[in-house]
A = this chain, B = another copy of it.
C-alpha cells in the first residue's frame, strides 16, 4: 500500500479561491488554501479543536453540530472530542483530506453555507492555543548537513562530519515533557559546564544559550512494535508539520554530550508553533530531494523510494527573527538574523520515519519528530547562533546597534515558515516565538560546598 499521496494537487490549492472570512484572502499564514488544525480555548471556554482561517479560528465541533461537517470529516472531528487531536491524527490521510475538502467548500466566498460560518468563528487574538496533541515521544533528527558540518567543527574540529552521516539518518530521543507552544517564556537553565581555562566544571546559569531552527513533524496512525514502516508507506504516517525551536545551552552541551548525546543542554525547553500544517496544504511546495550531492553514497534500499526522491523534499522559506528588549523599547521591529530553507534536509521525512521504525520501534499518534537544525550553506542561512557567530567568536550586529554572541535575557526568538511558489497562494505556519527569561534563583544546596 503506497500512501505517499501528499504531493497531489486539487481544487483546494486553487490560488484564485476566495474566502467568506474577512481578512483571510492574502493572509500571510492562513488563507483558505492552508486550513491548519489546532487545539484552542476561547476566552472563558473549554479546550476544543479548531482550524485557522485568516485571523479567526473555526470551532470544528460547532461546525459539526450545525451539520456542516459530515461523513469521514465528521469522524475526524468526533475523534478530537477528548480534548486533544491524537485521535484525529490517528485516523490518517483519508478523514483529514475529507475534512479539508469540506472546510474549503464551507469557507469559500461563494459557498452555499457561507452565512452560517460567522457564528462558528472566534478571533484568534482572544483565544489561547495549546499543544495540539499529547506527545508520547519526541525524537530529534540531525538532517541538516550544513548544520551537522558547522557544529561538528565547533565540537570536533578534526572531524566535523562523522563517517556515518551520509548513511544513517542520525537522531536521538528528546524530552517530551518540556515541549511548550509558542508564547510560553523560556527560563535560562542552570547546568554544569567546563570552560577551557578551568580544570574542573562549574555550575551556574548557561552563558551560551542558543536557538535551533527546525521543522517538527506530527505522526499520524503509527505502527505496531516490531513492525517497521516501509519507506514507500512512510509518508502516510505524517499528519502534519510545525516549526520547532530546539533551545540549546552550548556550554552544558559541550561538557555533557559524550558519550550518550545531548541531555540537559536541550531538555529545559522546546517551543513549537501550535498549528498542524497538513501534508495536503504543503503539496504545492513539494520538490525533488536535491540536498544529497551527486557522488555521495546511495541510501541503503530500506531508505530509497522513487516517489520520495522525486517529491519528498519541501521548499519552505524559514526565517529567524530576534527581538531584544532594547529594540522593543525603541520601537524597532524584530531583526532577521537568518533565512534558510527546508530544502536543505539531507534526509526526507519519509526516510526519517522508515529509519526510526526499521528496528521495530513503534511510533504512536501524536508523536513528534524534529528535523534537526535546518541551516543552509551560506553564513546568512545558519539555523543557530553557534554557527552564525562561530561559537561566539564573531558576534552579530543587530539593527538596534547591539551585538549578540548568544542569547540574553529578554531576547525574543521568532521562527517563521512560508511556502512560496509561482502560481500558488503563499501559506505560512504562524509564529513559533518565545522570550528568554532569567534563570531561577537556584535552590540553596543543603550541603556546604567543600
Contacts and interface: CB of A to CB of B under 8 A. Distances in A.
A297 B194 CA distance: 14
A264 B167 CA distance: 14
A277 to B, nearest CB: 24
Interface string A224-245: 0111101110000000000000
A437 to B, nearest CB: 9
Nearest to A363: B177
Interface in A183-214: 187, 189-192, 194, 200-203, 206
Contacts of A225: 177-178, 180, 187, 268-269
A167 B187 contact: no
B180 A445 contact: no
Contact of A203 (B171, B203, B257, B301): B301
Contacts of A263: 139, 170-173
Contact of A192 (B168, B191, B200): B168
Given A268-B361, A361-B267, A448 B173 contact: no
Given A172-B263, A192-B167, A443-B228, A177 B448 contact: no
Contacts of A302: 190, 203, 442, 445
A361 to B, nearest CB: 4
Nearest to A188: B360
Contact of A173 (B173, B355, B447): B173
B359 A252 contact: yes
B164 A305 contact: no
Nearest to A155: B259
Contacts of A201: 164, 167-168, 300
Interface string A343-367: 0000000000001101111111001
A209 to B, nearest CB: 11
A291 interface: no
A249 interface: yes
A258 interface: yes
A292 B446 CA distance: 20
Interface string A139-151: 1001000000000
Interface in A112-162: 136-137, 139, 142, 152, 155-156, 162
B167 A300 contact: no
Nearest to A298: B450
A261 interface: yes
B137 A192 contact: no
Given A137-B177, A227-B440, 20 more contacts: A164-B258, A167-B200, A170-B256, A170-B260, A173-B174, A173-B267, A177-B364, A189-B359, A192-B358, A200-B297, A206-B359, A226-B440, A228-B442, A230-B445, A231-B446, A265-B359, A267-B356, A301-B445, A305-B447, A306-B446
Interface of A: 2, 136-137, 139, 142, 152, 155-156, 162, 164, 167-168, 170-178, 180, 187, 189-192, 194, 200-203, 206, 225-228, 230-232, 249, 252, 255-265, 267-269, 297-298, 300-302, 304-306, 355-356, 358-364, 367, 440, 442-450
